[in-house]
Amino acid sequence: MKKTATRLADGRELIYYDSHDDAARDALDRRPLPPATSSSEVRRHPLLGEHVGYAAHRQTRTYHPPADQCPLCPSRGDRLSEIPAESYEVVVFENRFPSFSGDLGRCEVVCFTSDHDASFADLTEEQAALVLDAWTDRTDSFSQHPGVKQIYCFENRGAEIGVTLGHPHGQIYGYPYITSVTERMLRSLAEHRTRTGGGNLFDQVVADERADGRRIVLQTAHWLAFVPYAARWPYEVHLYPARRVPDLLALDDAARAEFPGVYLELLRRFDRIFGPDVPPTPYISGWHQAPFSLEGRELVREDFALHLELFTIRRSPGKLKYLAGSESGMGAFVSDVLPEAAADRLREVASKE
């Protein structure tokens, strides 16, 4: 992998990731942009103990532009975009409209391919491996940012999810706090360790799924994918490496080599859940990694288990799972699809050998 860092016209960082060492990346951003400015604020909810971020400048972010004005396509001729080069493999750059910035974290955009009409599931295994390399490199970089306590590499796919740019891309959030979801995981992890005299809850969850077997979707030498016992979403899959590691940096070469094929298969199965005549499945996919510091806790980073969570809000053709009164107001999920039934369907739509 070759990594080439440059700056956009407004001072934001942009990084090209190429699979070949001879790739030349010297194109300059020719747009007349003023220096990048943004303002973020974080407040803590006193009753829920959760953080809420505020970024009013995001009200003016790009919203569903025509395909010929996509800011994530390469720059060609007089059509200038966020990427100065005429072509690229994988690109990461600082978000022009970040949720967190400066001393309060960092937000980046990851473009998976220069092909506007593709999706992650259309990538080759070599292309997917390069995205994994980029995620890993950015995790390393974010770990050195004094304002970042946790990193989340994720993709929102589909207008139903709320995506405002159709080009295949994801984001990386460097939060200035530990998110409430991770806080709950850490609390459960610590309670289980105390209750069992040193046991690891992540290991127990994986062992229970292996023993039960009904919800396993895909299993290889180095990865296990399953619908969790208490899945909240209609179709939800958790993907764990066979060896527990705290983050992407700690994945061994064997797991890294096997990941592209496993992940692409899962995404392609998601697109087949509802049949060939239904539009591509909207989904959210994201890596849960250990926070960079667990200072003041009895846990260490190695107690946390890196895993990817992939889910869709579509519950059947033409019907979405809306978070209405119970879910939005009380955080009390009620799902329309049993986890065992979801797992059955995801096995049924496996790729043919």
Whole-number Å distance between alpha carbons of 261 and 300? 31
Coil vs helix vs strand at 136: helix
In a domain, 45, yes or no: yes
pLDDT at 65: 87
Task: Compute the Cα dihedral for 264, 270, 273, 279 and give only its sign.
Answer: negative
347: burial class by Cβ within 10 Å (0-12, 13-18, 19+)? middle
Among 120, 153, 175, which residue terminates a domain? 175
The encoded tokens of residue 272 equal 């087949």
Do 304 and 263 lie in one domain? The reply is yes
How do the pLDDT tens digits run along the chain, 353 residues long?
999 999 999 999 999 999 999 999 999 999 999 998 888 899 999 999 999 999 988 877 777 788 889 999 999 999 999 999 999 999 999 999 999 999 999 999 999 999 999 999 999 999 999 999 999 999 999 999 999 999 999 999 999 999 989 999 999 999 999 999 999 999 999 999 999 999 999 999 999 999 999 999 999 999 999 999 999 999 999 999 999 999 999 999 999 999 999 999 999 999 999 999 999 999 999 999 999 999 889 999 999 999 999 999 999 999 999 998 999 999 999 999 999 999 999 999 999 86
pLDDT at 131: 98
CATH number of the CATH domain containing 297: 3.30.428.10
Given a contact cutoff of 8 angstroms between Cβ atoms, the answer to whether 258 and 128 are in contact is no
Q: Residue 156: what residue type?
A: N
Question: How many domains, the chain?
Answer: 2
Q: Residue 30: what residue type?
A: R
Q: Mark out the alpha helices in the chain (DSSP H runs).
A: 125-142, 180-196, 201-212, 253-270, 330, 339-348
Residue 149 DSSP code? S
The count of other CB atoms within 10 Å of the CB of residue 289 is 27
pLDDT at 353: 62
| Catalytic (active site) residue 51 | no
The encoded tokens of residue 50 equal 């959760």
In a domain, 67, yes or no: yes
Which range of residues forms the domain containing residue 152?
2-175
In a domain, 232, yes or no: yes
Whole-number Å distance between alpha carbons of 294 and 162? 33
Q: What end-to-end distance do the CA atoms of the chain give, in Å? A: 30
Do 136 and 118 lie in one domain? The reply is yes
Do 277 and 204 lie in one domain? The reply is yes
Whole-number Å distance between alpha carbons of 205 and 287? 17
Coil vs helix vs strand at 56: helix
pLDDT at 125: 98
In a domain, 141, yes or no: yes
Among 144, 175, 206, which residue terminates a domain? 175
In a domain, 196, yes or no: yes
Given a contact cutoff of 8 angstroms between Cβ atoms, the answer to whether 258 and 132 are in contact is no
Catalytic residue, candidates 51, 57, 64, 169: 169
Do 111 and 257 lie in one domain? The reply is no
Separation of CA 106 from chain center: 15
In a domain, 169, yes or no: yes
Do 201 and 326 lie in one domain? The reply is yes
Q: Residue 310: what residue type?
A: L
Do 278 and 142 lie in one domain? The reply is no
Do 203 and 92 lie in one domain? The reply is no
Do 151 and 80 lie in one domain? The reply is yes
Given a contact cutoff of 8 angstroms between Cβ atoms, the answer to whether 16 and 82 are in contact is no
In a domain, 121, yes or no: yes
Among 175, 190, 209, which residue terminates a domain? 175
pLDDT at 352: 81
Do 225 and 212 lie in one domain? The reply is yes
In a domain, 353, yes or no: no
Given a contact cutoff of 8 angstroms between Cβ atoms, the answer to whether 175 and 150 are in contact is yes
Do 132 and 200 lie in one domain? The reply is no
- Sequential DSSP letters for 268-305: HHHTTTT-TTSPPPPEEEEEE---S--TTSS--GGGS-
Do 164 and 266 lie in one domain? The reply is no
Do 201 and 134 lie in one domain? The reply is no
